[in-house]
Structure 1
Amino acid sequence: MALTLPDHWLWDHWVADDGEQYHLFFLRASRALHDPDCRHWRAALGHAVSDDARDWRLLPDALVHSDGPAFDDQAIWTGCTVMRPDGGMRVFYTGISRAERGMVQRIGWADSADGITFERRCAEPLEADGRWYEKWNPGYAFDEPWRDPFVFQHEGRWHMLVTARARGVDRLHAGVIGHAVSDDLDHWEVLPPLTDPSRFGQLEVSQSRQVEGQHLLVFSCGDDMQAEPGPGGVWIAEGAGPLGPWDVDAARYLRPEHLYAGQLFRLRDGQWVLTGFNNVIDGEFVGSAPDPLAWTQVERVARMRP
């Protein structure tokens, strides 16, 4: 799946399979910004297709920021893609707005009948519920995390996992998996988080996967958001079922350590593979997607606790 764009950085990405082609969705921003830290405020959602999940053909971008005012009129951030029961494809994504200087994150969705052109379909974006999740105000120095939706079906309902922060908890321990449910993909109810505060300040780009008989929570967290900084960017925690509970404090990190926003997906031959973007190598941000790694060959490391 190696994909490098000469004129754009490419980072968080995910794969969907429509039964005929694999679809790669990815965040992208122009290298003309010069500073890769600026990419987040200019991100669009790129799109490519492949027959084998390795050789990709670029398509038009799936989504770019809206004309304002709108919840997504500054940038498009990470999400997921599902096949609609009535046909077609739905992309869930995170939006940030100019009105709040990008400090508040909300979740929207867009549909495609042909797998190429996507039209926004949410009347109101999904927001964090202040009963359980931290909210932002103009006097607060940090953002309001409510991003990276991962949507899947379980026992007849749609479930959404969300990167969120527990209210009233120290920032480096407050990362939780937010939760919402729906019966029709259009109307969502926000529920309490599925995890408790732990040693992670954020659980980004999460997935719930059952691999080789194990229920795994896949998430990412850099050392700048860990209560106990150290190696590891992509993490897995074992759990009892698709909705947990997961032992987040006992999570193991994956190698190679330069990967971030890790994603597990299954090929049509049944093989599970891991992808994630090339983050910082030798002190420089890379911003590309490598070939996927066979899950059986990925090293999982238990970090020693102090």
Structure 2
Amino acid sequence: MYASHGFLRSDIGDVDVVYHDGLFHLFHLVLPNHDFIAHAVSSDGMTWRRVKNALFVGEPGEWDDDMLWTMHVTPDPDKAGEWRMFYTGLARSEFGRVQRVGLARSRDLYQWERCNQGVYPLEIPAPHYESSIDEGRHWVSFRDPFFYHDRHSGDRLLLSAARVKDGPVIRRGCVGLARETAPDRFSFEAPLHRPGLYDDVEVPNLFRLHDRYYLMGSIREDTKIHYWYAQSWDGPYENFFDNVLLPSGNYAGRICQTEDRLLLFNFFSKTENVYGREVVKKLLPPPKELDTDKAGRLKVRSYRGFDNLVTGREIVTASYQCKILYENKYATAVDRPDGLHLACTSGYEAYLLPGHHQDFRLSTQLMLEGSGKTGLVLRMNEEGDGYYLSLDLVNGIAQMRAWSANPTPEFEHAFRYEPLQEAHFRGSDQGPWQIEVVAHGMYIEFSIDGYVVLSLVDDSFHEGGIGFYVESAAVCLKDLAIETLRRPVSEDTAERVYTTTYLAPEDEADTR
């Protein structure tokens, strides 16, 4: 887990990740000041180390002397071995109300130089887009640049979060489009996609996967990552009945291509209470892998990098390995030829598996019998305090809850019951379902049939028992395994989850 920290509270903002020569390079904003673009590196995409900051706000009087916003780093298509960073800048003289896109160049991803001459910074023009503070919301939206070089057509495209000039003011958000007709020469065209529903389509991404083009964007109205698809890059773009890629809290997604897979990075917004005041903390969870199902719907899978963190594995096959927590007289645990059978015909019961766990990955094949309730309990103590993963397998609803006794109870406020995240999946009354849970520090992830359904960050509970619960139902578990995961860091708190350095990896090697 990666987060910003220092003497005063700060957060990471929008991110961009590039994979090059075996290293992940993370570029991100630092909030609330937005005064520089930070740079960190990682060999596994999960444990990050800060290196030389990439870019700072401009000098007083320059076009980007107020704030720096979202960036995108790609290889320079005209200069082999060099890199371009498109980034958003704001000017103090305009009170930050006009967004422009600038360019910086690098030969090694560590040393960056602004290009403040020629066509840069770019300004979004009429007639297709709002281009004056006298229009719409009285600020000019032209941010979150994303450069896409289509290998099939050769087209070079610069996408952005922009707004059309007509329609209801809060529904003008679109994906702006400029075509690079010659090196550093851009021609603005009609929007690549205009949903007609949202205030903005932030942090757009365009990519080709399994012979189909996908357009991805983040929507502030529901704080979720949405996507659309088309047969060619220029559309028209359609959406499925469920075009939400990740549940609420996951935002500002950016793709990263490695040698053999397409990854999705994004920050997660976590609400915390600091000195009696609610604040939002943003953290970078582990990436996910992008894939499609048989219908072409975009899906995310759990990151295979977790495989390298496994330090032990235990197989659970027999009822004697389970502890019946509440000793409900209607609860049973039975060994059957088809698997471990856990049932409670009346009331609730939790079955804890062997061990006391902090960081783990649990997997099993689950069959549901009866019409009652079931789910998992995670990091649970003897009093039943912990995480409850509620599963409605028939209707396809998963919800993660933090449920415990209140340490400072007052009258009816004896307990804490907090829904943390909910998401939907394709349910059925048949089964079986292949389920997987990853708990790695504050990060919790739930997958069903190979696709990630829940992805969240929470620090309510750090360790405890894990298992399953049933209420007027029965489950049959097959191939049940618990893997212990190595922590990439030793601290639990977000402010101390990584160490900092000012050296690039090759410089650090020279000092040893």
In structure 2, C-alpha distance between the alignment counterparts of 1:140 and 1:219, rounded to whole Å = 21
Question: Does structure 1 residue 134 correspond to structure 2 residue 136?
Answer: no
In structure 2, C-alpha distance between the alignment counterparts of 1:279 and 1:59, rounded to whole Å = 24
How far the C-alpha of 1:21 sits from its partner, in A, is 2.2
Match of 1:216 among 198, 214, 219: 214
User: What is the aligned partner in structure 2 of residue 36 from structure 1?
Assistant: none
More displaced, 285-294 or 201-210?
285-294
Match of 2:95 among 88, 98, 101: 101
User: What is the aligned partner in structure 2 of residue 76 from structure 1?
Assistant: 68
In structure 1, C-alpha distance between the alignment counterparts of 2:248 and 2:183, rounded to whole Å = 35
User: What is the aligned partner in structure 2 of residue 255 from structure 1?
Assistant: 246
Distance 1:83 1:193, change over 3 A: same
How far the C-alpha of 1:180 sits from its partner, in A, is 0.7
Question: Does structure 1 residue 234 correspond to structure 2 residue 230?
Answer: no
Distance 1:6 1:232, change over 3 A: closer
In structure 2, C-alpha distance between the alignment counterparts of 1:193 and 1:258, rounded to whole Å = 27
User: What is the aligned partner in structure 2 of residue 12 from structure 1?
Assistant: 14
User: What is the aligned partner in structure 2 of residue 56 from structure 1?
Assistant: 48
In structure 2, C-alpha distance between the alignment counterparts of 1:47 and 1:183, rounded to whole Å = 30
- What SS is found at the alignment partner of 2:133? coil
In structure 2, C-alpha distance between the alignment counterparts of 1:288 and 1:265, rounded to whole Å = 18
How far the C-alpha of 1:250 sits from its partner, in A, is 5.8
Question: Does structure 1 residue 291 correspond to structure 2 residue 286?
Answer: yes
Q: In structure 2, what residue type is equivalent to 1:292? A: P
In structure 2, C-alpha distance between the alignment counterparts of 1:191 and 1:141, rounded to whole Å = 22
More displaced, 13-22 or 73-82?
13-22
In structure 2, C-alpha distance between the alignment counterparts of 1:19 and 1:158, rounded to whole Å = 24
Q: Does the CA-based 8 Å contact 1:254-1:301 persist in structure 2? A: no
In structure 1, C-alpha distance between the alignment counterparts of 2:203 and 2:75, rounded to whole Å = 19
- What SS is found at the alignment partner of 1:23? strand
- What SS is found at the alignment partner of 1:60? coil
- Aligned pairs, number: 283
Residue-by-residue CA offset, 1:117-144 (whole Å, 9 max, x unaligned): 1001242311111211112336975321
In structure 1, C-alpha distance between the alignment counterparts of 2:209 and 2:136, rounded to whole Å = 40
Report the identity percentage: 26
Unaligned stretches of 5+ in structure 1? 30-38, 224-230
Distance 1:250 1:168, change over 3 A: farther
In structure 1, C-alpha distance between the alignment counterparts of 2:64 and 2:204, rounded to whole Å = 21
Match of 1:111 among 102, 105, 111: 105
- What SS is found at the alignment partner of 1:172? helix
- What SS is found at the alignment partner of 2:72? strand
How far the C-alpha of 1:190 sits from its partner, in A, is 1.5
Q: Does the CA-based 8 Å contact 1:107-1:149 persist in structure 2? A: yes
In structure 1, C-alpha distance between the alignment counterparts of 2:230 and 2:43, rounded to whole Å = 33
Q: In structure 1, what residue type is equivalent to 2:89? A: G
Q: What RMSD, in angstroms, separates the aligned Cα atoms of the two structures?
A: 2.4
Match of 1:169 among 167, 170, 183: 167
Match of 1:206 among 189, 204, 207: 204
Q: In structure 2, what residue type is equivalent to 1:173? A: R
In structure 1, C-alpha distance between the alignment counterparts of 2:121 and 2:253, rounded to whole Å = 25
User: What is the aligned partner in structure 2 of residue 27 from structure 1?
Assistant: 29
Q: Higher strand proportion, which one? A: 2
Distance 1:248 1:44, change over 3 A: farther
In structure 2, C-alpha distance between the alignment counterparts of 1:240 and 1:251, rounded to whole Å = 19
Q: Does the CA-based 8 Å contact 1:216-1:238 persist in structure 2? A: yes
- What SS is found at the alignment partner of 2:92? coil
Q: Does the CA-based 8 Å contact 1:198-1:249 persist in structure 2? A: no
How far the C-alpha of 1:279 sits from its partner, in A, is 1.6
Residue-by-residue CA offset, 1:187-208 (whole Å, 9 max, x unaligned): 2121221123511111100001
The two structures have a TM-score, normalised by structure 2, of 0.52
In structure 2, C-alpha distance between the alignment counterparts of 1:107 and 1:99, rounded to whole Å = 17
Question: Does structure 1 residue 266 correspond to structure 2 residue 257?
Answer: yes
Q: Does the CA-based 8 Å contact 2:98-2:133 persist in structure 1? A: no
Q: Does the CA-based 8 Å contact 2:17-2:265 persist in structure 1? A: no
Q: In structure 2, what residue type is equivalent to 1:181? A: R
Question: Does structure 1 residue 193 correspond to structure 2 residue 197?
Answer: no
Q: Does the CA-based 8 Å contact 2:164-2:173 persist in structure 1? A: yes
User: What is the aligned partner in structure 2 of residue 228 from structure 1?
Assistant: none
- What SS is found at the alignment partner of 1:188? strand
Q: Does the CA-based 8 Å contact 1:80-1:92 persist in structure 2? A: yes
Bigger Cα Rg: 2
In structure 2, C-alpha distance between the alignment counterparts of 1:232 and 1:249, rounded to whole Å = 19
How far the C-alpha of 1:176 sits from its partner, in A, is 0.9
How far the C-alpha of 1:114 sits from its partner, in A, is 2.4
How far the C-alpha of 1:186 sits from its partner, in A, is 1.5
Distance 1:102 1:267, change over 3 A: same
